[in-house]
Amino acid sequence: MSPLLLLASITLLLLLGAVLGPRLLRAAAPVLMRVPRLAVALLMMGLGAWLLTAAALSLVLAWTLSGPRLLPGAYGEVCQRCLAASSPFAPGHTVETALPVIVPIVLPALGAALMLALGVRRALRARLAARSVSEEITNTARSTRLLGHDTWVVTDPRPLAFSLPRGNGGIVISDGLRHVLTDAELTAVLTHEQAHLQQRHHLIMSALRAVTEPLRWIPLAGAVADAVPHYLEIAADQCAQDHSGTPNLASALLKIGAPVSPDSFAAHSPALSPILHAGGPDRIRQLVAPARAEMAMLPLAALLVLTIALAIVTLAVHGPYVQVMLLGCTLPL
């Protein structure tokens, strides 16, 4: 395969993933909702493979172009030898340009560093927000052991239930919720919230937001960012369903999902990002009458093929660079 054909193929694959991926994701939902934890892993790996493939596009460009060296003397010579050793193309295939070859090699690293810096900044802000929400709640709430779960109870007539990250409050419910739910329904809700804590859903959400927040303009990133929270809720629903039964959980979700005034605690909380809610009625259909999965098998297969193709490109392009660096590029001159 020629360098230009490889560049065109990777570009086409990225476009298919960015535009077609969200449609396949929606079409495969009836199957993915049956295995929500596996679905979350698949979506996050697929997005990661897409981002690494985007970086691979720049690395293939470095194999295709030749230009002035920015690194002086022996360092520039070593860089050139490493680049030639990693390239799968025969010598003489490059196109002479005024662009230094080091530029397309460094671009993915700079992009990754920028995303990491932004992600760390968002993670710190989310942690501060979680601490702020926790302090707001614990200063006025009552700590109690309720139906086998450590719980904070806030004085509020509305039926509220949510969880904060482990170590920043945990399970929170309102007096109003205790009044409208039976013990069996309340057990289902508490089990749902406990599943969020045990399965580290807040940590998953923090990592997801750190990656997708600056990339929402990419359709695939936006679709994954919107889908993962829904699948995390379904995963918690499954735990509650197994423990308390479908009728109790569905009834509880319906009551929690009842309309509340816009000045509810959750609505004016200083930071919603660390909160995972137990409501509401939009998930009841999945509990009592799951969508048929037969028609979703083909889109799921296409989604898997697309993810595998992205992973293959990632390994095929990044692998030679990593191998060459491990064999010699990191050795002192």
The predicted pLDDT at position 248 comes to: 94
Q: Report yes or no: 30 and 293 within 8 Å, Cβ to Cβ.
A: yes
The predicted pLDDT at position 269 comes to: 42
pTM (2 d.p.): 0.84
The predicted pLDDT at position 90 comes to: 67
The predicted pLDDT at position 1 comes to: 63
Nearest Cα to Cα of residue 170 among 147, 148, 187, 190: 190
* Residue 242 amino acid letter: D
pLDDT in tens, the chain (333 residues): 677 788 889 999 999 999 999 999 999 999 999 999 999 999 999 999 999 999 988 888 877 776 666 555 555 565 666 777 777 776 666 666 666 777 777 888 888 888 888 888 887 887 787 788 788 888 888 999 999 899 999 998 888 888 888 777 789 999 999 999 999 999 999 999 999 999 999 889 888 888 888 888 999 999 999 999 989 999 999 999 999 999 999 999 888 875 444 344 444 343 444 456 555 556 787 788 787 888 899 999 999 999 999 999 999 888 888 887 777 654 444
Determine the distance from the C-alpha atom of residue 248 to the mean position of all C-alpha atoms in its chain, rounded to a whole number.
30
Per-domain boundaries in the chain = 1-100+296-333, 139-288
Nearest Cα to Cα of residue 201 among 234, 165, 237: 165
